[in-house]
Structure 1
Amino acid sequence: MFERFTEGARDIVIGAVGHADRAGAATVTEEHLLLAMFEQEGTRASFAFAALGLAGRRASVEHALRDARRRGGLSKAETEALAGLGIDVDEIVARVEETHGEGALRVAVRRKRPRWSKHRPFTPGAKATLSRSLRIALGRGDRVIGDGHLLLALTARPGVVSEVLADHGATYAAVARAVFGAAEGDGGAPGKIDSGETP
């Protein structure tokens, strides 16, 4: 599948591996893919970020992702569902951190890889995002997978990353309009692209 990626999409995947490496994470996650997108310029994803007002809000996105890691990777929807059962996740986190230190419930704790291994595996969620980007590209009739397809895939998968993007105005429908000019619900059929690189 990687051979179908445009140069920009490959740069995002490589950048995500770099983010995981710098964070000391044992695996590459959807969060790393998103953070790598913020570093790209002149791509469909960067155009969508600018169009949706997300370009200047990277710090806010990173803060929201950090909060989710602090809650053990629970999304706001999951936290609200637990609250409906009488479970106050924020209170639990506060008590655990009081005893065990800040970030005690943080997911993706640093884990050492064998020195001989340079391979950093992708989490099932990150792999599913890459697979979904292929399905989105095929659904639009595109021959390649671009960074815009990757961004759409991040918004389409339920979880923390799509929730954080939606909270910042980057829903699937909004991103589809910004990236491909697609109307909500049309699946992105019009406006086929060849390169996936420029808006």
Structure 2
Amino acid sequence: MFELFTDRARQAVVASQDEAIALGHDFIGTEHLLLGLAGTDGSTAGEVLREQGVELTRARQETLRVLEAAGIAATGGRPAKDALASLGIDVEEIQRRADDNFGPGAFQYPRPAYTEDAKKALEQTLSEARALGQERFGTEHILLGILAAGEGRGLDVLAALEVDPDGLRGATLARVSGDAT
């Protein structure tokens, strides 16, 4: 499926993974997808989000607040690291050696998995693009997918930022053209 994404859409998905890791989460939810979209410069979704008042730094803060309110702590993959440590594997040492040999950030463990809500949003991305007659998926389709899925903490973050999902959907659709980004 990811081969059908535009370059910027792929950048946004990678950025969502990076956001999850940077925030210490061992999962990628719709809130991280939203952060990835907000942080992707020159993308349709990023521009629409900024026009709607979604600024990346504040969205990060709200993401942490929403997750903390839901009782979800940033673990940084601690349970997985602890399990490996019980077998005598030092993940931090592996990371240090990888950084030394291949550059900072070359090895990330654990790789966050997508939540069911994020998977649903990415599946909706396909439906949204096809409904608009497009074969490739841009950032705008990912945003529309998050909104169409109707579930996930990304919508809670938007609510905390006082962004109306219907208004955001309308603004996104108004920007959609045959040149997906």
SS at match of 1:181: helix
- Letter matched to residue 112 of structure 2: R
Tell me, yes or no, if the aligned pair for 1:44 and 1:147 is still in contact at 8 Å.
Answer: yes
Cα distance, 1:120 vs structure 2: 3.2
Secondary structure of 1:152 counterpart: helix
Deviation at 1:180, TM superposition (A): 2.6
**Separation in 2, partners of 1:119, 1:64:** 23
What amino acid is aligned across from residue 22 of structure 1 in structure 2? A
CA positional deviation for 1:60? 3.4
Q: How far 1:118 sits from its partner (Å)? A: 6.4
Report the equivalent of 1:154.
146
Aligned equivalents of 1:24, 1:168: Cα separation in 2: 22
Aligned residue in 1 for 2:65: 67
Aligned mates of 2:45, 2:53 — CA distance in 1: 12
Aligned positions of 1:31-50 closer than 5 A:
31-50=31-50
The alignment partner of 2:76 has SS state of coil
Structure with the higher fraction of residues in helix conformation: 2
CA distance 1:60–1:14, shift in 2 (3 Å):
closer
Kept after mapping to 1: 8 A contact 2:33/2:154:
no
The whole-number CA distance in structure 1 between the counterparts of 2:139 and 2:121 is 12
Taking a change above 3 Å as real, the CA distance of residues 34 and 65 of structure 1, as seen in their structure-2 partners, is same
Which whole-Å CA distance do the structure 1 matches of 2:142 and 2:157 have between them?
Answer: 16
Cα distance 1:67–1:23, how it changes in 2: closer, same or farther (>3 A)? Answer: closer
Q: Report the counterpart of residue 9 of structure 2 in structure 1.
A: 9
Post-superposition offset of 1:136: 0.9
Instruction: Give structure 2 stretches of 5+ with no counterpart.
Output: 85-90, 95-108
TM-score (norm 2): 0.71
Q: In structure 2, what is the Cα distance between the partners aligned to 1:21 and 1:142?
A: 31
Q: Do the aligned residues in 2 keep the contact of 1:155 with 1:166 (CA within 8 Å)?
A: no
What is the identity, as a one-letter code, of the residue corresponding to 2:22? R
Q: % of aligned pairs identical?
A: 23
Shift of 1:24: 3.0
The answer to whether the aligner puts 1:140 opposite 2:132 as a matched pair is: yes
Distance, in Å, in 1 between the alignment partners of 2:138 and 2:157 is 22
CA contact (8 A) 1:47 1:179 kept: no
- Structure 1 stretches of 5 or more lacking a match? 73-104, 183-190
Question: Aligned residue pairs: how many?
Answer: 154
Which amino acid is the alignment partner of residue 178 of structure 1?
A
Q: Is the 8 A contact 1:48 1:179 kept in 2?
A: yes
Question: Aligned-residue CA RMSD in angstroms?
Answer: 2.5
Counterpart among 47, 72, 89 of residue 106 in structure 1: 72
Show the counterpart of 1:168.
Answer: 161
The answer to whether 1:123 aligns with 2:80 is: no
What residue is the counterpart of 1:178 in the other structure?
171
Q: How does 1:74-89 map to 2 (within 5 A)?
A: none
